[in-house]
Amino acid sequence: MPTIRPDVAAIGPYVPGRSIEEVAADIGMAPGEIVKLASNESPDGPFPGVVEAATKALAEASRYPDDNLRALTVALSGFLGVPADHLWFGNGSVGLIGHIASAVGGPGTSAVYAWPSFIMYRIATRLAMSDAIEVPLDEDHTHDLEAVRAALRPDTTLVYLCNPNNPTGTVVSADAVSAFIDSVPEQTLVVIDEAYHDYVTDQRYATAVPEALRRPNVLVLRTFSKIFALAGHRVGYAVGRPETILELRKAQPPFTVGQVAQAAAAASLQDRGELERRKMANEAARHHLQGVLAERSLPHTDSQANFVYFELGFGAEEAAELFTRRGVIVRPMSGGWLRVTVGSEEENRRFVEALNQILDV
Ligand SMILES: Cc1ncc(COP(=O)(O)O)c(C=O)c1O
């Protein structure tokens, strides 16, 4: 066994949602009968034109990809209305989180984030050898920004704000985010993770991109893995000041986004009507699922994302296992809560059917 850094050895491995094949073999069902609602993936395929664009790019496989991602940068810059030099791409937004954590972290620093929130903040903080300061969400499962602010130490170089928050789906308002940013010292980087931005319908929410465009200590993270349905291609991006991006990029190896992924992401930006359609479909299905939970008087949050967070009243692992045995994979979270991704109509029907069976035994 090679010598592993003790702080790395102490990290629990990232546990992805269980795969369809694994569960199918476990419970003796055909893979086609299993519904996976554990990883917040899109129930829809890629956007129109994406497969064609990606297939064409495949022919360039012998070449390294464009490390400046020119075509994708031009497409995204136009789509967002953001100058091209304010964009930074990575191998999924988790790739960027790792680079950011190592660029601003290290021994003698700390990173602050809410808990429960996206597990990669914890893992990246530990890998960067920074202290992790985890601030409990409030009783509504929402960021307690005053408590987050109070947890900042003189050695804090990084603070994450997941908006909407994974796994709770809760949002903090645009005003609260701006006031929070105002209160953070300029030498502390504020990373606002908006992976689920495109699903939000709550009018109190707004993107923090305008803040990221003018403040060197603010970055907004987004991804093509959710509403754009490209989780398998691994493309995420950050919006921020060019001078900040230039420094952070030093922690990133070259060629982290392949040309097929670049082409697929660029082609995804061509159809705003489809984006709106998917957003509305997600909202309707989310509303339906939350309505079912409400009818059953099951505690749940007002999720603004493509997942719903709820409690059955007994252990999360045990509850998830009961769903799994009925061919529905959901994600057990801490404190007895579960997270289920908003799926297709049929997938949601299967979830509700399993829920009813579990509750009515
Ligand atoms: C809050 C949050 N940020 C980032 C990601 C990862 O996105 P990507 O697929 O771009 O790495 C996820 C994925 O579930 C997430 O929930």
- Calculate how far, in angstroms, residue 93's C-alpha sits from the geometric centre of ligand 1: 6
- Residue of 304, 239, 295 lying closest to 77 (CA atoms): 239
pLDDT value for 74: 98
Q: How far apart are CA 38 and CA 330, in angstroms?
A: 5
Q: How far apart are CA 217 and CA 104, in angstroms?
A: 11
The answer to whether 160 and 111 are in contact (CB under 8 A) is yes
- Calculate how far, in angstroms, residue 181's C-alpha sits from the geometric centre of ligand 1: 22
Same domain, 215 and 336: no
Same domain, 285 and 151: no
Residues of the chain with pLDDT > 90: what percent?
92
> What is the tally of structural domains in the chain?
2
pLDDT value for 19: 84
pLDDT digits (tens, 9 = 90+) for 46-57: 999 999 999 999
**Range with the lowest mean pLDDT among 18-22, 151-155, 332-336?**
18-22
Paired with 329 in beta bridges are 36
For 291, the token pair is: 């309505």
pLDDT digits (tens, 9 = 90+) for 259-269: 999 999 999 99
What's the average model confidence in pLDDT over 104-130? 97
Any idea what DSSP says for residue 241? -
pLDDT value for 47: 97
- Calculate how far, in angstroms, residue 222's C-alpha sits from the geometric centre of ligand 1: 8
- Residue of 107, 39, 126, 36 lying closest to 344 (CA atoms): 36
Q: Residue 249 domain-assigned?
A: yes
Single residue among 252, 268, 284 that ends a domain in this structure: 268
pLDDT value for 18: 77
pLDDT value for 12: 79
Q: The whole model's pTM is what?
A: 0.96
Residues of the chain with pLDDT > 70: what percent?
100
First to last CA, the chain: 49
pLDDT value for 139: 95
Peptide bond just before 2 cis, omega within 30 deg: no
pLDDT value for 253: 97
Mutate-to-test residue for ligand 1 from 226, 303, 339, 342, highest number of ligand atoms within 8 A of CB: 226
Residue nearest to atom 12 of ligand 1 (CA): 195
Domain of residue 12 covers 6-45+272-359
Tell me how many degrees the CA angle 274-199-35 measures, rounded to the nearest 5: 85
- Calculate how far, in angstroms, residue 275's C-alpha sits from the geometric centre of ligand 1: 18
Greatest Cα pair distance in the chain? 60
Q: How far apart are CA 225 and CA 199, in angstroms?
A: 13
3-state secondary structure of 162: strand
pLDDT digits (tens, 9 = 90+) for 1-47: 889 999 889 887 777 777 899 899 989 999 999 999 999 999 999 99
pLDDT value for 15: 74
Q: How far apart are CA 243 and CA 248, in angstroms?
A: 9
The answer to whether 251 and 99 are in contact (CB under 8 A) is yes
Q: How far apart are CA 361 and CA 357, in angstroms?
A: 6
Q: Residue 14: which CATH number? A: 3.90.1150.10
- Calculate how far, in angstroms, residue 357's C-alpha sits from the geometric centre of ligand 1: 31
pLDDT value for 11: 85
3-state secondary structure of 295: helix
Those residues whose C-beta lies under 8 Å from the C-beta of residue 100, and which sit 6 or more positions away, are 124, 158, 189, 191, 219, 238, 248, 251
**Contact 225 CB / ligand 1 (< 6 Å):** yes
Q: Residue 276 domain-assigned?
A: yes
Q: What are phi and psi of 268, to 5 degrees?
A: -70, -20
pLDDT value for 14: 74
pLDDT top residue among 101 and 313: 101
- Calculate how far, in angstroms, residue 97's C-alpha sits from the geometric centre of ligand 1: 10
| pLDDT at 324 > cutoff 90 | yes
3-state secondary structure of 104: helix
Q: Residue 185 domain-assigned?
A: yes
| pLDDT at 301 > cutoff 80 | yes
- Averaged pLDDT score across all residues of the chain: 96
**Contact 195 CB / ligand 1 (< 6 Å):** yes
Same domain, 164 and 261: yes
Long-range contacts of the stretch 322-325 (C-beta < 8 A, 24+): 322/354, 322/358, 323/351, 323/354, 323/355, 323/358, 324/18, 324/23, 324/26, 324/27, 325/27
What's the average model confidence in pLDDT over 94-115? 98
Same domain, 291 and 321: yes
pLDDT value for 314: 86
**Contact 123 CB / ligand 1 (< 6 Å):** no
Q: Residue 154 domain-assigned?
A: yes
For 62, the token pair is: 């012998």
Q: What are phi and psi of 159, to 5 degrees?
A: -135, 130
pLDDT digits (tens, 9 = 90+) for 276-292: 999 999 999 999 999 99
Residue 296 binned pLDDT confidence (cut-offs 50, 70, 90): very high
Q: Residue 1 domain-assigned?
A: no
Same domain, 334 and 248: no
Q: How far apart are CA 16 and CA 37, in angstroms?
A: 12
267 Cα distance to chain centroid: 21
